[in-house]
Structure 1
Amino acid sequence: MSTKDKFTRRTLLKTAGGLALVSGISAPSILRAQSADVIRIGHLTPRTGFLGPLGEYAVMAADLAVEEINAAGGMMGRKVELLKEDSVNPQTASTKAERMIERDKVACIIGEISSASCLTIAQVASRNKTLFINTGGNSDALRGKDCQRYMFHVESQNSMYVKTVGRSFLQEGLVKGKKWYSLTADYAFGHDLLRVAKRFMEGNGGQFAGDDLVPTDATDFSAYLLKIRDSKPDLVVINLAGNQITNFLKQYAEFGLTYPVGGFGFDTALAWAAGKGNFVGTWPVVWHHLIDTPGSKAFVGAFTKKYNKPPENQAWGDYVATKIVAQAINELKSAESPKIIAHFEKGAKFDLLKTRPGYFRASDHQLMHEMYAVKALPAAQVKNQWDIFSSSGPVPGPNEDLEIIAATKEENSCTFPS
């Protein structure tokens, strides 16, 4: 490399840095804006470990969304490239997010399932003024004390899950004067979910007969099942995550326990993996493949054609998040994160494949949308490995405000860092 070349490159970098100081934006932001050929989107999600089965659905859905976006003309007429990485754990997620932003110049990052990893990605995104859309982390804290201006949430918060399925528990007489026994995943998501579940239970006249924290690498639930049997609860509450739910359901069936089962966090892929006759109970879900709307039918058809199986709820999250980003960029004719954030905060509406559009709540960046409570079908009524539950109608109902199931400011307050 010649001295002239070195000088030219240094001059360019110094110029970019000087412009950044004058304008208040970072040099990486300027360099990203100068990329005219493609728009790069970063996709981070766990593809190994106990959340890996869900991460694989997320990747498949994001790939499908990008294919459809490019077939329709891309973003601002540019081809979209999806850069995909296994986030593994919070530390790795942070490192890979940094690399995607600084080296690969992504316009935004989409994905994740672990609430702990969501927080580390959000911190990197905020430092670099880059949009991050969380598609799988449920913790209320991410929308409360840990909220970040550059983080938005397509995935529902724990409060939305609890209030959605809580309606079913109330209707079934499983709350007031009843005893619950809960098993909770021992990490950020589980701790937060248990706190929200206890708030709901205590507010509706019930109590916990017991609650156990379960390590995320636990696969044998025998000791917990014996404790459940001894306590004789009115409802067994599953606040587990990933393939732990599958393992628990299989072992619950093997033990022959008949106490009603419910959960406050759920993914349909985990119920499918449990097998016919093992899936029981009532659960909340952000979306499922049996929703009877034109948008959902089209998504299910395209996904099934490409992958020979229907999508589950995690697939929905990454698919619609990618489509939301494309819609925003094309409407704004800009991929700059501050402009997209302002657009979201002004109440932009998005088709979520449900009965009505959704929007991001400006106060905490939570997507406001309908949810569902699903109930396992008796084994004799299960006709295939996918259609294993019946579903409630949309929650909230058609005449209710979408925000009725979300945490109130008193329950979970967010103040964005300046």
Structure 2
Amino acid sequence: MKLARLLPLIAACGMLAPIAGQIQPARAAGNDQVVIANVGDESGVYSALDGLGAVVADQMAIDDFGGKVLGKPIKLVHYDHRNDAGLANQETNEAIDRDHATLLVDYTNSATALSGENVAKAKHVVQIVTGGGTDAITNDPKYCNKYTFHYGYDVYALAHGTAATLTKEGGKKWYTITANYAFGQALQKDTAQAVEANGGQMLGNDFVPLGTSDFSSYLLKAQAAKPDVIGLANAGNDTVNAMKQINEFGLKKSMKVGVMLLFESDVHALGPDYWAGSTVTIGGYWDLDAKSRAFAERFAKKYHGNMPTWSEFANYSAVYQYLEAVKRAGTADSDAVVKQLEGHKINDTFVHNGYIRPQDHLLIHDMYLAEVLPASQVKQPWAYFKIVKTIPGEQAFRPLSEVKCNLQ
């Protein structure tokens, strides 16, 4: 069932009451308005880190922009792809053909992002991927194209932040447990490269189906290999389930855990002590400064008290920056908007020292190496990260000399 059909029930339960009247279920729209389509995971393993929260963030961006652009009202529609690439393809086509969307955003789950990217490329509609992390989005000539942008993070940045740091600190022997689809495969590959580039070695890896709940057999294999670090190349509920069992098995006593992708919602699900001391790389943080905290407080009032994950935060920024580009272009025409996005410098509540690299449409911006705090040091709910250092964008992301796509 599409989430558009579930929204009235959710709103009735109070989850989205403050904005339920503003967010519209997917339906036909005319050219007298600018339509933004969120295609995300609103009921699956990634729904807690993005899902409905991303829809809330998108609507906040629209409202903060004034609700109109070029004199036209802005409408938000949304779809639940349920982590099905085929369904994401179908919904992306519907968003364009039926809803007349001029922006496609989110795409949590890399397989759905790539599926949607093919449609965006064929139909010349701007797509900004905030959820999917595979670097194929902007670094594989099979997919990269004029109309797709990657916003917030990618697997290269995650691996060269977390894996490189842990290896340099003495975690030389790694064993990885990997979600077996586009994102996990790409993250494991880049993690292995980062480990080996810093003098480490990979002892083994297991590919695990998306949505796995029992990691015991994989953890026992990893334990038998006696690594310094067990790396989790997965996300969302998969990461939560794996970390819960790592703690239950007592593995943290003999090895470090490399959590390659972590969101505030993951920490919240188990409690910070399960994750305490973990080194992670994040694309932004609601508790970074006064501006981000002000946004988070507004978000929490609209989304049953939750502070935004940094994926939801990226959604807000992406939609707002798109609308700014439409305004600068004086039209929602995709080609004109693309020209306004390429090379544009961005500094907002989420993005710091950012710009969209014209050659591959990857957002280059500050990333952050963070540590998960124990419960005793958490000053308020959701304030789980301590920023250890800022990684400048030019260091965090793949250098231009290694980029396989050139859109110029």
Q: What is the TM-score with the length of structure 1 in the denominator?
A: 0.84
Q: Name the larger-Rg structure.
A: 1
Aligned residue for 1:393, secondary structure, equals strand
The answer to whether the 8 A contact 2:175-2:227 is kept is yes
Q: Which residue of 2 aligns with 1:364?
A: 360
Residue number among 159, 164, 173 corresponding to 2:156 in the alignment: 159
Residue number among 55, 59, 83 corresponding to 2:55 in the alignment: 59
Sequence identity, in percent? 31
Unaligned stretches of 5+ residues in structure 2: 1-28
CA distance in 2, matches of 1:166, 1:218: 23
CA distance in 2, matches of 1:204, 1:251: 29
Say whether residues 1:376 and 2:372 are aligned partners.
Answer: yes
Question: CA deviation digits over 1:10-42, x for unaligned, max 9?
Answer: xxxxxxxxxxxxxxxxxxxxxx9x833x21111
The answer to whether the 8 A contact 1:238-1:262 is kept is yes
Change (3 A) 1:338 1:42: same
Say whether residues 1:44 and 2:39 are aligned partners.
Answer: yes
CA distance in 1, matches of 2:402, 2:179: 22
Say whether residues 1:210 and 2:168 are aligned partners.
Answer: no
Give the counterpart letter for 1:102 in structure 2.
D
CA distance in 2, matches of 1:372, 1:198: 20
Q: Which residue of 2 aligns with 1:188?
A: 182
Aligned residue for 1:236, secondary structure, equals strand
The answer to whether the 8 A contact 1:39-1:75 is kept is yes
Q: What is the TM-score with the length of structure 2 in the denominator?
A: 0.86
Bigger mean CA offset, 348-357 vs 142-151: 348-357
Where do 1:366-405 residues align within 5 Å?
Answer: 366-396=362-392, 402-405=393-396
CA distance in 2, matches of 1:200, 1:163: 6
Say whether residues 1:408 and 2:404 are aligned partners.
Answer: no
Change (3 A) 1:96 1:237: same
The answer to whether the 8 A contact 1:140-1:412 is kept is no
Where do 1:7-406 residues align within 5 Å?
Answer: 35-36=31-32, 38-54=33-49, 55-69=51-65, 72=66, 74-88=68-82, 89-145=84-140, 146-166=143-163, 168-170=165-167, 172-174=169-171, 178-257=172-251, 258=253, 259-280=255-276, 281-292=278-289, 294-307=290-303, 308-345=305-342, 347-353=343-349, 356-396=352-392, 402-406=393-397
Cα deviation for residue 385 of structure 1 reads 3.8
Give the counterpart letter for 1:365 in structure 2.
H
Aligned residue for 1:373, secondary structure, equals strand
Cα deviation for residue 163 of structure 1 reads 1.7
Give the counterpart letter for 1:358 in structure 2.
G
Cα deviation for residue 277 of structure 1 reads 1.8
Cα deviation for residue 408 of structure 1 reads 2.8
Aligned residue for 2:370, secondary structure, equals strand
Bigger mean CA offset, 406-415 vs 45-54: 406-415
CA distance in 2, matches of 1:410, 1:106: 34
Give the counterpart letter for 1:403 in structure 2.
E
CA distance in 1, matches of 2:259, 2:350: 23
Aligned residue for 1:104, secondary structure, equals coil
Aligned residue for 2:46, secondary structure, equals helix
Bigger mean CA offset, 333-342 vs 280-289: 280-289
Cα deviation for residue 64 of structure 1 reads 1.9
Aligned residue for 1:52, secondary structure, equals coil
Give the alignment's Cα RMSD to 1 decimal: 2.1
Question: CA deviation digits over 1:99-122, x for unaligned, max 9?
Answer: 111111112211111111111111
